[in-house]
Amino acid sequence: MSNSFKLILSKTPLRITFTGGGTDIPAYYRKYGPGAVVSATINKYIYVIIAKNFYSDEIRVSYSITENAIKNVEDIRHPTVRESLKLLDIKSGLQIISITEIPSHGTGLGSSSSFLVGLLNALHAWKGEIVSPEELAKEAIKIEREILREPGGKQDQYMAAYGGFRFIEFHSDETVLTIPTLPKMEDRKLLNDHLLLFYTGKERQSTSIHRDMEENIEDRLEYYNNLKKLAYKTHEYLSKGKWEEIGNLLDENWNFKKNISKTISNDFIDKIYEKAKKAGAIGGKIIGAGGGGFLLFFAPPEKHNEIRKEINLQEEPFRFEPFGSRISFMEEGYP
């Protein structure tokens, strides 16, 4: 390992999914693939700091709790930190600190994968290595899906690594195709101006939702196939600058998505959704696996205040982020 750095900071965006979410899980794309989603990264970030530890034989990890004076990587309680250090063969001499702009669990914005991709990016830089977005995404998937056996899809890791506005295809042979979409800045801004993001105030664990999805795919295959078709249609419309159609596509997506698992929505979310539509929203969806977290709505700007008043939830203004995980700061550790 290189000892030439004193401090490294990575900056990794969170993401919102428009259509196709759910078709990126292995139980679907391996048997009925490809899966397909359209997603975009936003200007809400997770920061990971890697700093030199005064004690060269120890590791310190600080997140919602602090694990201090760790002598053996295997003793680290944070699973993705532990497995990342093992994967990259880093044994000691550093501190790892994470900072997030949005609650890091249960929000549906892909925060756990964004943290992992940002951590891997920073650790590679700590070793003096530059890696591609593809390598970062694959390493994150290896840790989350293969080593830790956590249920879920693959879009979060790719979006965190690549960033931007993307159509992503997931093939049965595990290859992934990522295509940038919505290239015109003017269209990007107009779409952004029609979107509202609200926090439901309810965090949820996606693990049980993903398990339910995986166990019942055959019974709900029609809905998965329709979600995939909507992703292709969304990519086509955005590529042609038809951003004004997104509201209707979101509404269709939400109605299909609710049918792939009973845990995706609930009475509270359904009531909020109906209130927003009555107040002028054309369409919307829960972000991520469902059950809580953030709600996204598409509506004409002149209807935004009415929607805000009607649903009375905490709003999170955002803009699209064109870049994926990147190293924002590096300080060399001269003697």
Q: What percent of the chain has pLDDT over 90?
A: 79
Task: Give me the mean pLDDT over the 232-250 stretch.
Answer: 94
Predicted confidence band of residue 2 (pLDDT cuts 50, 70, 90): very low
pLDDT tens-place string over residues 24-41 = 999 999 999 899 999 999
Which is more confident, 242 or 182? 242
- The answer on pLDDT for 210 being more than 90 is no
- The answer on pLDDT for 211 being more than 80 is no
- The answer on pLDDT for 332 being more than 90 is no
Give how far Cα 87 sits from Cα of 104, 119, 122, Å.
Answer: 23, 12, 14
Q: Which amino acid is at 188?
A: R
Nearest to 155 by CA among 11, 292, 297, 16: 16
- The answer on pLDDT for 205 being more than 70 is no
Strands 195-199 and 66-70: unpaired
- The answer on pLDDT for 148 being more than 80 is yes
Task: Give me the mean pLDDT over the 118-146 stretch.
Answer: 97
Query: What domain range is 246 assigned to?
Result: 1-335
Give how far Cα 27 sits from Cα of 30, 204, 215, Å.
Answer: 6, 22, 8
Give the 3-state secondary structure of residue 190.
Answer: helix
User: E strands within the chain?
Assistant: 5-19, 35-52, 59-62, 66-70, 94-100, 165-170, 176-180, 195-199, 283-286, 294-298, 314-315, 326-332
pLDDT tens-place string over residues 275-314 = 999 999 999 999 976 677 899 999 999 999 999 999 999 9
User: What CATH number did the domain enclosing 253 receive?
Assistant: 3.30.230.120
Q: What percent of the chain has pLDDT over 70?
A: 93
pLDDT of residue 335: 59
Q: At what angle do helices 133-141 and 111-126 cross, to 10 degrees?
A: 120
Q: Which residue has the tokens 């890697």?
A: 50
pLDDT of residue 1: 42
Strands 294-298 and 176-180: unpaired
Average pLDDT, the chain: 92
CB atoms within 10 A of CB 25: 23
Among 128-137, 257-266, 278-287, the least confident range: 257-266
CB-based burial label for 190 (10 Å; 0-12, 13-18, 19+): middle
pLDDT of residue 207: 65
pLDDT of residue 208: 62
Contact predicate 181/238, CB 8 Å: yes
pLDDT of residue 29: 96
Nearest to 254 by CA among 272, 280, 279, 235: 272
Q: Token digits for 17? A: 């999914």
Task: Give me the mean pLDDT over the 176-197 stretch.
Answer: 91
Please report how many Cα atoms fall inside a 13 Å half-sphere around the Cα of residue 88, on the Cβ side. 27
pLDDT tens-place string over residues 36-90 = 999 999 999 999 999 999 999 999 999 989 999 999 999 999 999 999 999 999 9
pLDDT of residue 206: 59
Task: Give me the mean pLDDT over the 82-106 stretch.
Answer: 92
- Work out the angle at residue 204's Cα, subtended by the Cα atoms of residues 30 and 248, and round it to the nearest 5 degrees: 65
Please report how many Cα atoms fall inside a 13 Å half-sphere around the Cα of residue 263, on the Cβ side. 14
Instruction: Convert 213-231 into a string of H (helix), E (strand) and C (coil).
Output: HHHCCHHHHHHHHHHHHHH
Tally the domains of the chain: 1
